[in-house]
Amino acid sequence: MRILFKNIKELVQVRTANLSFVSGKEMKELPTIKNAYLLIENDRIVDFGSMDDCPLTQTDEIIDATGKMILPTWCDSHTHIVYAGNREGEFVDRINGMSYEEIANRGGGILNSAKKLNEISEEALYLESEVRVKEVINLGTGAVEIKSGYGLTVASELKMLRVIKKLKDNYPIEIKATFLGAHAVPADFKGNKEGYLQMLIDELIPKIAAENLAEYIDIFCETGYFSVADTELILEAGKKYGLVPKIHVNQFNAIGGVQAGIKFNALSVDHLEEMRDEDIEALKGTKTMPVALPSCSYFLSIPYTPARKMIDAGLPLALATDYNPGSTPSGNMNFVISTACIKMKLTPEEAINAATINGAYAMGLEKEVGSITIGKQANLILTKPINSYAFIPYSFGCNQIEKVYLKGIEIKY
């Protein structure tokens, strides 16, 4: 199946060379071709260029994209979209003055979701989760990382990871799985954090590795959750089974989690709302991608990641949603991009780079997705008619997506 898109007003994020990610000043550059064509064959991008050079080859379908743009689909490198039930009660409690921390301390928060997850069957969990997968695809996401971490028991963590695997088998979106057993200490291990971590290390991690249920390992490195020493313990245990770190750090307190991640060659360090100068310094020259989650800052009314300062210091940055029932009940990458521009002062070019090529890198998928490059998956956003790509972040709360193609096929749920 060959499809030719022609008269594309602007083909955005075209990359010819092999590129892992962009950092610092490079993030301001977003290569495009105006009045372009794009040829895809089956699931891959095979050719693109200016309409002046549009080939007259045989195709199965020609799509006239006059007035519309084409971008690679969004790469959402941090989500928790496999979960049971919602937590709008806690949302109301926060409106009425309780803090996220106070809610967690009374047994709500992550433990509230863990309780719901323990009660639900694997089938029902799959059905709830696939609704969210369909939702994010309709919103232009073509690759997503999904974490466990609401099970907090052997059986329930495996249940979450098996649901992720099933979603991966059944949907055209690229999915990467992360084991986040160390998300919170479960009620059964109250006062015995060490025992819980040992159970993860001795029992759960070997099972996950044996069933090949995760590529990445995560831990919530935060005051009141897991320390830097706990983080190193878990990352070391994961490393023995080839699980690469992608970790939650510096959400409420900067306690050295960034440095622990770098020490263990983390693919990404995520959240970073609280960044000390030494954390920014530590990331320089590493292969660890900093990931900002502006929808989480928005929803919890906590500080935004100091992205401007980080990019100006020469760092790369990826943007992701953090879609989860507690801190970010939204998987809308279009909103993430707008919020990054409005609240974190990223330019549209920086935000689009952060949400595509850099997000792909933060999932180890930079060879497959994240740019319009020959040989990559034909994962495309065809926009509505718009004047410029800056209109995408500008029109916050809406999206400018007319059609989404994953692996060369138009998808609409």
Applying CB under 6 A, which residues contact ligand NIG? 109-110, 113, 220, 248, 251, 296, 322, 324-327
CA nearest to 282, candidates 304, 264, 296? 264
Residues 237, 55: Cα–Cα separation, whole Å: 53
What's the Cα-to-Cα distance from 250 to each of 65, 193, 214, 216, 222, rounded to whole Å?
Answer: 43, 20, 24, 19, 7
Nearest to ligand NIG of 40, 152 (CB atom): 152
- Extract the tokens encoding 242: 């080839």
Nearest residue to ligand NIG on Cβ basis: 326
Nearest to Fe ion of 181, 408 (CB atom): 181
Nearest to ligand NIG of 40, 247 (CB atom): 247
Q: The dihedral of CA 105, 110, 114, 115: what is its sign?
A: positive
Report what 230 binds from Fe ion, ligand NIG, none; CB cut-off 5-8 Å by kind. Answer: none
Cβ proximity of 34 and 93 under 8 Å: no
Chain residues binding Fe ion by CB under 5 A are 322
Nearest residue to Fe ion on Cβ basis: 322
User: CB 264 → Fe ion: shortest distance, Å?
Assistant: 18
Residues 393, 200: Cα–Cα separation, whole Å: 41
Nearest to ligand NIG of 178, 327 (CB atom): 327
Residues 366, 371: Cα–Cα separation, whole Å: 8
User: CB 90 → ligand NIG: shortest distance, Å?
Assistant: 8
Collapsed DSSP state (helix, strand, coil) of residue 183: coil
User: CB 296 → ligand NIG: shortest distance, Å?
Assistant: 5
Report what 325 binds from Fe ion, ligand NIG, none; CB cut-off 5-8 Å by kind. Answer: ligand NIG
Report what 326 binds from Fe ion, ligand NIG, none; CB cut-off 5-8 Å by kind. Answer: ligand NIG
Report what 110 binds from ligand NIG, Fe ion, none; CB cut-off 5-8 Å by kind. Answer: ligand NIG
DSSP symbol at 288: P
Residues 317, 27: Cα–Cα separation, whole Å: 9
User: CB 180 → ligand NIG: shortest distance, Å?
Assistant: 8
User: CB 117 → Fe ion: shortest distance, Å?
Assistant: 15
Nearest to Fe ion of 12, 336 (CB atom): 336
What's the Cα-to-Cα distance from 238 to each of 80, 203, 219, 245, rounded to whole Å?
Answer: 19, 12, 11, 8
Nearest to ligand NIG of 9, 78 (CB atom): 78
User: CB 153 → ligand NIG: shortest distance, Å?
Assistant: 16
